[in-house]
Structure 1
Amino acid sequence: MIFSPLFAPVTRRLSAALLAATFSVAAGSAAADDASIVLRGSDGWLFPGWGSLSEVDSRGIAASTALIKEAQQALAARGVKLQVLVLPDKTRFYPDKLPAGKALSPAVQQRYQTILTSLHQAGISAIDDEKVLRQLKDSGKDVFYRTDQHWTQAAADATAQATAAQAREAVPALNGDAGSGMALGSELKERRYGDLAERFLTPEQRKATGRETFTIRRQVAANSLLSDSAAPVHVTGHSMVQPYFGFPQKLSNSLDRPVSVNWKPGNVGQWILLLEYLESPDFKRNPPQVLVWQVFEPTYAQGPQASGLWDNASIMSADAWRQRLRAALGK
């Protein structure tokens, strides 16, 4: 794995300040559904209070897809294949655990497929990760942690394998040598509170909710060193794709090639995340053959101008975003 200068520190979990920022911003989009920043469901299940449970912003979805199409075309001119990885919302896998009186509307139940259809109709490559995770859950494995906003290692692994197959289909001959993928370390268990419980419940509520077991991988010593090899695949996204949850390691292992990644918390817009990578020295020196751009289902419709929903540093007009995209790609 290549740890580029854009790599955020590999931490056990997000800091309190970053988590607070993430949810204070995201909560605004869910205000119509619940006044709480965290939805406390049955059996100790917790859900982030972002994303509407009832409304779908169809115009926002169309606008976001149009901008992504511009990015795809500009990247293609530089010889880079774009893959968009839309991660489905936690609520759609555990609707029976939502608080009493809370349910996904029919439109929200179809929202993920609406987004995927929009991408496919625009000719943009995107796997059906809802299908991937649904099959995993149907096999008896959890795909999200009970008290955390993030996915399980099993979910990250399954998505990484599907993403690797997609990348190999797009570029059968990836640069680099066989054997340069990341070796996977042994698994270890960590018993703790999830981020939603730790940061946003009272001590009494935390105690009643209880800790849970997180499965992570030990880092193989040989992989702890920085690599000078150029990565043919790069991932840009949010905390779901940070190394702690295992996605980039499994992707590298499945591809048998190095993978680089830049990520920030969920309150940072996906629009600025992509620009930060494209404007970086890493991209200019070694543009990848495949760029995986991870976004979230609940916030897909939020454009770069979504004031009050992204952190202030992420806010820009769509035209400003286009200008920076073209400048970064030499258009």
Structure 2
Amino acid sequence: MTRSLRVFYIALFLVTLLVLGLWSVRSFFGFSTNAEATVLNGRWTKAVETHYDAEFPIKRLGTNLWAALDFKLFNEGRPGVVLGQDQWLYSDEEFNPIVNEESNLQGNYALVEGVRQTLKDKGVKLVMAIVPAKARLYPEHLGDVKPSRIHSNLYQDFHARVAADKIIAPDLLGPFNQAKLKGQQVFLRTDTHWTPEGAQIAAETLANTIAAKTPLNGEPQRFVTEPAEKITHKGDLRLFLPLDPLFENLMPATEPLQKRNTRAVEDQAGGDDALFADAEVPVTLVGTSYSANPNWNFVGALKQALHSDVLSYAEDGHGPILPMLSYLKSDAFKNSPPQVLIWEFPERYLPVNNEIGDADPQWVAALKQAGARQQNVAINTQSETPDRAQN
């Protein structure tokens, strides 16, 4: 190699480093950290390193390229997603075998019963909204991928168990399937969650059941739901396909989403204040992102269907157990318990070891023990009944 060529290669290398460095530095415009991240405690440095690592062009190129190879050659994404056919994506939580699944199942069943007893002691009626798995509603897009054994009858078993515990839990799978046959899409193609239409169907089903089995006290309130902005929705499951920006064309297409807003209708006699003259809120909602995310308008759909205000204590990203434990320890529950509590609980969370956050483990264990004792009493009572009948 001649001296001129060596100089050229060195210069090219240095220019490449400079360009990559400037590209990465550009990503720091507008970058900020929270007040707790300081140089002294090391959190600021860690935040800078994490941000730089995520924005470094070579890393992004490698990530995109590797994801593209997995996607095209093996029809796979990152752990967290299962690729179906026709650009349908599913959460792998609906497919994977679960560690200690039987123990988790029994523990969560007992916890649900323990929660019911705690609510009953405060005069609160529990109504469960068991959300069926997306794979159960749309199996036609799965191709050769099949859920593991634990998931096959999970929805039906969950309903049978809560029915044995005398917990109100209307079937949502049937109404969803009926809407699907009519051409309505009740779950998003590239997202874990239901559509606003699916949320409305669930709300109406719950409202009909509550009206029949535990009617709400007080005067009915009027709510109306109106179309809001129409957005291009990028489903949360697309995040497990890190193809953007270099291979965006390989990604499953985005989906249109018509957002909705629900508002109280002004009362002719007393205005808006008349709607909430009674300080007691008859209905409280606890649940997951199916309830907490305003894109689906589940809370608004419940208000309109129930003709009642609804206080939501649903949380994103924590599953169904942690928000319930947090609510049971809240001042709102202690001081102003509702007449009815709706617990939105996706079936896929039943066989997993759900997080309990800062909740006292001994208190959680006591809830499970109380629930397990009650379930054992119910089982023994049922088994003794046929013997007495024979005698």
Give the TM-score, by structure 1 length: 0.75
| 2:334 equivalent among 273, 279, 284 | 284
**Aligned-partner SS, 1:43:** coil
Aligned counterparts of 1:93 and 1:269: Cα–Cα separation in 2: 20
- Is the 1:133–1:158 Cα contact (8 Å) retained in structure 2? yes
| 2:117 equivalent among 70, 73, 97 | 73
Aligned counterparts of 1:245 and 1:265: Cα–Cα separation in 2: 13
With a CA cutoff of 8 Å and minimum separation of 6, indicate the structure with the bigger relative contact order. 1
Aligned counterparts of 1:205 and 1:34: Cα–Cα separation in 2: 13
2:295 is the counterpart of 1:244: yes
Aligned counterparts of 1:111 and 1:279: Cα–Cα separation in 2: 29
Report deviation, 1:65.
1.7
Aligned counterparts of 2:330 and 2:359: Cα–Cα separation in 1: 19
Alignment deviations for residues 32-65 of structure 1 (CA, whole Å, 9 cap, x no partner): x996221222221111222335679344333322
CA gap of 1:147–1:97, structure 2 versus 1, over 3 A, is same
Counterpart of 2:311?
Answer: 260
Aligned counterparts of 2:358 and 2:347: Cα–Cα separation in 1: 18
CA gap of 1:316–1:47, structure 2 versus 1, over 3 A, is farther
The code of the aligned residue for 1:230 comes to: E
Alignment deviations for residues 126-176 of structure 1 (CA, whole Å, 9 cap, x no partner): 11112221121122111111111110111100110111122222322x233
CA gap of 1:221–1:135, structure 2 versus 1, over 3 A, is closer
Aligned counterparts of 2:149 and 2:114: Cα–Cα separation in 1: 31
- Is the 2:223–2:264 Cα contact (8 Å) retained in structure 1? no
| 1:321 equivalent among 344, 357, 364 | 364
Identify unmatched segments of 5+ residues in structure 1.
Answer: 1-32, 327-331
Aligned counterparts of 1:82 and 1:105: Cα–Cα separation in 2: 30
2:164 is the counterpart of 1:121: yes
Report deviation, 1:232.
0.3
The code of the aligned residue for 1:97 comes to: H
| 2:217 equivalent among 175, 184, 187 | 175
Counterpart of 1:5?
Answer: none
CA gap of 1:218–1:82, structure 2 versus 1, over 3 A, is closer
The code of the aligned residue for 2:125 comes to: K
| Matched-pair identity in % | 27
Alignment deviations for residues 234-279 of structure 1 (CA, whole Å, 9 cap, x no partner): 110001012331111111111111111112223x242221121122
Aligned 1:36-185 pairs, distance under 5 A: 36-53=79-96, 57-98=101-142, 100-105=143-148, 108-172=151-215, 174-178=216-220, 180-185=221-226
Counterpart of 2:322?
Answer: 272
Counterpart of 1:202?
Answer: 243
**Aligned-partner SS, 1:102:** coil
Aligned residues: 283
Aligned counterparts of 2:358 and 2:84: Cα–Cα separation in 1: 31
Alignment deviations for residues 91-111 of structure 1 (CA, whole Å, 9 cap, x no partner): 11222322x531135653322
Aligned counterparts of 1:221 and 1:164: Cα–Cα separation in 2: 17
Aligned counterparts of 1:222 and 1:322: Cα–Cα separation in 2: 45
Aligned counterparts of 1:90 and 1:122: Cα–Cα separation in 2: 26
RMSD of aligned alpha carbons: 3.1
- Is the 2:262–2:301 Cα contact (8 Å) retained in structure 1? no
Q: Quick check: 204-213 or 283-292, which moved more?
A: 204-213
Give the TM-score, by structure 2 length: 0.64
Report deviation, 1:201.
3.2
- Is the 1:198–1:206 Cα contact (8 Å) retained in structure 2? no
Decide which structure has the larger Cα Rg and report it: 2
Identify unmatched segments of 5+ residues in structure 2.
Answer: 1-75, 267-271, 370-391
Aligned counterparts of 1:113 and 1:161: Cα–Cα separation in 2: 21
Aligned counterparts of 1:146 and 1:292: Cα–Cα separation in 2: 26
Aligned counterparts of 1:160 and 1:280: Cα–Cα separation in 2: 25
- Is the 1:47–1:147 Cα contact (8 Å) retained in structure 2? yes
Aligned counterparts of 1:85 and 1:218: Cα–Cα separation in 2: 22
CA gap of 1:67–1:106, structure 2 versus 1, over 3 A, is closer
Q: Quick check: 236-245 or 183-192, which moved more?
A: 183-192
Counterpart of 1:190?
Answer: 231
**Aligned-partner SS, 1:213:** strand
The code of the aligned residue for 2:243 comes to: T
**Aligned-partner SS, 1:84:** strand
Counterpart of 2:5?
Answer: none
The code of the aligned residue for 1:177 comes to: E
Aligned counterparts of 2:325 and 2:312: Cα–Cα separation in 1: 13
